Chains A and B, each alone.
Chain A
């Protein structure tokens, strides 16, 4: 327990503070930066109600649909699917283009990049996890992480049955993002419920067990080329810190310890959020961002280099 409080201590000592927090800091910057971009208008109006807030038009809307510089449309592809399921098919071109843009983007950089770099709920659930660790809360209900895929199916079915975007009535992701700029109402209760659920009931409960949005992006992420690699897995000294910080801890072990089984040193699971926290926290620099195809990883520590030829063969097998 005592060691848990010092997560990343070794990395800080060995690599310095920046290297031990780099991806976390960048990620939070991205999350907050995106929120600020959307918030320009409300902030401007709040400061001076009379101003016409030209700057604000950089980003209009919210994560459900938005417009960048009044030209580039973006639409959440899952919402787009729900629309079709609900029976609305005469969708304007703009939404079609917008959904494609988002789809292609996340197909390239990793589906759940949405989760760790954009989604505002991630800040809430990360905070809950941080507090849970701090308060040394353990236990709670455990259930399958696959529930989220069932729920994803349910979201679409519910749209079809009701003929409306029914899940949007309770979806905490859009509720929080929309609420921040357009008013939350009782939405805070829903967000608080997610926080409490993660804090007390299930560790990393919402994002890695339930959220259908995350599940959707997990499916997208299965094929994306940008991946966390563990080319230097030979250097792992079993400190276990990456398991603790990874929201989807179950996906690390097979790759990290999979050398004997011939598993490629690439985290190919769609659930990986590309948060890069494992890269930060590893004092031995086992992980790094790379692509799923590369056969010769970046100049890695010698131990890994020796294995290169073998690894590359494995990674090809893994893919097929």
Chain B
């Protein structure tokens, strides 16, 4: 009896050992598999989310990184837009699957005053604090093609200017002399990022065929990032309310020895004696071509002259 019992327990414990080992093996296998899958999803999401969408988010959308964590892809904003311009990205679209966007060329945001798409967003992926639609920054309009925008061709168009809901601030017209005809003005559309909402009405309205000359881009794609230490003189002047320098201030330049700055003379391009410096390896120019730089003494690159000056000084 006791013998058989011990045998049984032995068997049992051996069985247990095997099953534990198998269990551990299975666990390790599962963990590896799941880990690999997780890695796959992470990488896929990286690439999927990294496709900087040319599609534009609805008004009030958080910055893209937060938006991708906050938007549940429920489509309530899509349902609430009375103009039906918003869509949820389908699988295979170049926008992270399920997230809302609109395409300015075919369906721009009509800038509803009550912004119905925003307040029902359950998570705040569309910021409920946005109550003034003209404060929304869905993207930024850019006149991308000066070769086809007919205003640059010298024709009157201004369609984009006229449809802009923030006309006069978001888009202005610059008057330029038409060099080609010599006696006409050009009315050039210029977008200003402080006021452009990115609604896309201008892109929709652009009179060109399929591709418009003015396009909306996500702001981070459209806007340069000016060095933060930059101070633009005229802004500073405006802030100060007057000129920043007094007439008595003396100009100081760190010019190399032997070169001096003379505004009324020939500027930087001089030697000690005030004679023009001529680059020895200056490429000869056709003297009959009076449009060329042949009349300019020396190289067109003032740096060359500077270097020459330094050499001579030494």
Interface residues of chain A, those whose CB is within 8 Å of chain B, are 41, 45, 56-57, 60-62, 64-67, 70, 73, 75-76, 79, 83, 86-88, 90-92, 94-95, 98, 144, 146-147, 150-151, 153-154, 157-159, 161-170, 174-175, 178-179, 181-187, 189-190
* A114 to B48 Cα, complex, angstroms: 29
Question: For the complex, what is the distance from the CA of A182 to the CA of B84, rounded to whole Å?
Answer: 12
* A146 cross-chain contacts in B, Cβ below 8 A: 30
- The answer to whether A182 and B122 touch across the interface, beta carbons within 8 angstroms, is no
Report the Cα distance A196→B69, complex, angstroms.
31
Contact A150 B30, CB 8 Å, known A158-B41, A184-B91, A187-B91? yes
B96 nearest CB across to chain A (Å): 7
- Would A158 and B45 count as touching, CB distance under 8 A? yes
Known: A98-B122, A147-B30, A190-B91. A61 touches B97 (CB 8 A): no
B254-289 residues at the A interface, CB under 8 angstroms: none
- B34 within 8 A of partner (CB): yes
Flag B67-86 by CB within 8 Å of A: 1 or 0 each: 01111111110111000100
B238 vs chain A, min Cβ distance (A) = 36
Among residues 24 to 66 in chain B, which have CB atoms less than 8 Å away from a CB atom of chain A?
26, 30-31, 33-35, 37-38, 41-42, 44-46, 48-49, 65-66
Residue of B nearest to A184 (CB): B90
- Residues from chain B with a CB closer than 8 A to the CB of A162 are 42, 45-46, 49
Q: Are B98 and A174 within 8 A (Cβ)?
A: yes
Q: Are A92 and B34 in contact (CB under 8 A)?
A: no
Knowing A61-B75, A181-B75, A185-B90 are in contact, say whether A154-B38 is a contact too (CB < 8 A).
yes
List the 9 shortest-distance A-B pairs measured between CB atoms, nearest first.
A185-B90, A65-B74, A92-B124, A166-B45, A86-B69, A164-B68, A88-B69, A186-B92, A61-B74
Measured between beta carbons, the chain B residues less than 8 angstroms from A92 are: 121-124, 128
- Contacts of B91 on A, CB cut-off 8 Å? 175, 179, 184-187, 189-190
Q: Does B105 lie at the interface of the complex (its beta carbon under 8 Å from any beta carbon of A)?
A: no
Annotate B89-107 by CB proximity to A: 1 below 8 A, 0 otherwise: 1111100111000000000
B23–chain A nearest beta-carbon distance, Å: 10
Note all chain B residues with C-beta closer than 8 A to A67: 76, 120, 122
15 more A-B residue pairs beyond the given contacts A88-B123, A154-B41, A186-B90, with a C-beta to C-beta distance below 8 A: A57-B79, A66-B76, A92-B124, A92-B128, A144-B30, A147-B33, A154-B35, A164-B45, A164-B96, A167-B41, A169-B48, A182-B90, A184-B90, A185-B97, A187-B90
Interface residue? B87 (CB, 8 A)? yes
Q: Does B216 contact A (CB under 8 A)?
A: no
